[in-house]
Structure 1
Amino acid sequence: MIDSETCKPVSNAAVDIWHCDALGLYSGYESFSGGGGGTPPTDAPSGTPTDVPSGTPTGEPPSGGGGGGHEEPTSDTRYLRGTWRTDRKGFVTFKTIFPGWYQGRCVHIHTKVHVSGEWTDAGYEGGTTCHTGQFFFDEETVLLSAEVEPYSTSTTERTTLDEDTIYDQSGTTGGLLKLKYKKNDIAKGVLATITVGVDPEATNTGTDDSVQPGASASAS
């Protein structure tokens, strides 16, 4: 992560990511989610990771489009949500599953970046949200993932990257991830990288409909 003005690393920032599970369900918002049936994954994470702040999820439930607004969680389940800090070189790493899809949206990951706060035993407190965005996956990779269980059991009609109402078709500038994996065995995992440029002085909570949710980024 770099400062979009100076290109210097942004260190000690808190980065949130959250996304739906293989069948399109968001933790805490299962009743809102547009998952498409099939067989739920038996190894889906449960509970709250020890190094992730607990409490109310910061992400909104899926709405099939852009815009702000916030709905209260409908359950206490927490999975596929995480927060961690950037190191002195601006790097942060998450280990998660490949997201699934739900009606009206392409495959994506949500993200927020917080600065000027304080790390405590409970997580990250205070500060401001300087960036809100989404990361996206190319169609070839999504099609390969859709052949693997439990993704292959989904009955939800999938929205392609070209059809999505949030992704602006600008490649890595719009949040498209650079992906690396074995094409003959994608089930072994996918490595996704991107360099995100943020303005630490800005406030961007993503609650304004006029805010472009795509990341200002380039592949690394």
Structure 2
Amino acid sequence: MERKNFLKSLMIGAMSTPVLLHACKKDDDTVTLDSDDTQATNTGSTTTGCNVAPTETEGPFPTKQPASYVRSDITDGRTGYKLTAKITITNTNNNCSALAGALVDIWHCDAEGNYSEYGGSGMQSTNYQSVHFLRGRQTTDSNGLVTFTSIFPGWYTGRATHIHVHVYNSSGKSLKVTQIAFPEGSGSAVALVNGYDKGMNNYTYNKNDNVFSDDTAGVQIASVTGSKADGFELAITFGVPA
């Protein structure tokens, strides 16, 4: 089954080495590409205040044993533009104060659009079942912050560029499964990275993505700054009920 069709079926069911980094945002479908490396100018809006993270699908490639990958650098040998992801978690049951001691798992695809721990099937032909790149867990500090070092995600058919996030309390109780979107359009990191070797032909933009299309307030869109030469920094704040 093609990955795009599989993801659509998931949504229907739910209703019943260079340094690389960058970001995307809901925008128009016209993307201006820069031939030379520049600073990202379409950087999204850093989320502040009490932003409740929407609940999203965890699949189809969730981390199988997340507690085994407690690490801040999740690159694990994958090449791509450097990305530093800073995720702040707040408690919506306590006036969105910083949530310390929460477990935060993230995972995303590599520059070619492939996930570790899966493959060898119609969903993903390349077999990466025995490796665990671009997956990791961190515990929030007193400011509710976790920081990961990774690479800028690639894209695959049917989805916009994204990062998966699963937040647990300190006892391991699931609090929220959500996803991070990237700013898009002229001057964005998505435009600068230009899909790595794929380019942007047939890319699915946020407004057409089956996860992000209903995010009219832009809660899931991170702020991304930086450049291909120096690396990118992503920042977002998510509120969860703890």
Cα distance in structure 2, aligned partners of 1:33 and 1:194 = 33
Secondary structure of the 2:100 match is coil
Contact 2:105 2:165 in 1 (8 A): yes
Contact 1:20 1:101 in 2 (8 A): yes
Contact 2:105 2:167 in 1 (8 A): yes
Query: Structure 1 residue 77 and structure 2 residue 119: aligned?
Result: no
Instruction: State the match for 1:70 in structure 2.
Output: none
Q: Which amino acid aligns with 2:105?
A: D
Q: How does 1:1-220 map to 2 (within 5 A)?
A: 1-6=89-94, 7-32=96-121, 75-117=129-171, 127-140=172-185, 141-146=189-194, 151-153=196-198, 157-167=202-212, 168-173=214-219, 175-182=220-227, 186-200=228-242
Unmatched tracts of structure 2, length 5 or more = 1-88
Q: Which amino acid aligns with 1:19?
A: H
Cα distance in structure 2, aligned partners of 1:33 and 1:92 = 34
Cα distance in structure 2, aligned partners of 1:23 and 1:87 = 33
Cα distance in structure 1, aligned partners of 2:125 and 2:183 = 21
Q: Offset of 1:180 from its aligned partner?
A: 0.8
Cα distance in structure 2, aligned partners of 1:142 and 1:32 = 28
How many residues align? The count is: 149
Contact 1:23 1:36 in 2 (8 A): no
Q: Offset of 1:116 from its aligned partner?
A: 3.3
Secondary structure of the 1:142 match is helix
Secondary structure of the 1:93 match is strand
Q: Which amino acid aligns with 1:83?
A: R
Instruction: Report the CA distance shift for 1:33/1:16 in structure 2 as closer, same or farther (over 3 A).
Output: farther
Q: Offset of 1:189 from its aligned partner?
A: 1.2
Contact 2:116 2:128 in 1 (8 A): no
Q: Offset of 1:5 from its aligned partner?
A: 2.8
Instruction: Report the CA distance shift for 1:32/1:9 in structure 2 as closer, same or farther (over 3 A).
Output: farther
Secondary structure of the 1:95 match is strand
Q: Which amino acid aligns with 1:130?
A: L
Cα distance in structure 2, aligned partners of 1:154 and 1:25 = 16
TM-score by length of 2: 0.56
Q: Deviations over 1:58-77 (max 9, x none)?
A: xxxxxxxxxxxxxxx97121
Q: Deviations over 1:151-191 (max 9, x none)?
A: 12469731111210100233442x10011113xxx243111
Instruction: State the match for 1:59 in structure 2.
Output: none
TM-score by length of 1: 0.61
Secondary structure of the 2:145 match is coil
Q: CA RMSD in A?
A: 2.5
Between the two structures, name the one with larger relative contact order (CA 8 Å, sep ≥ 6): 2
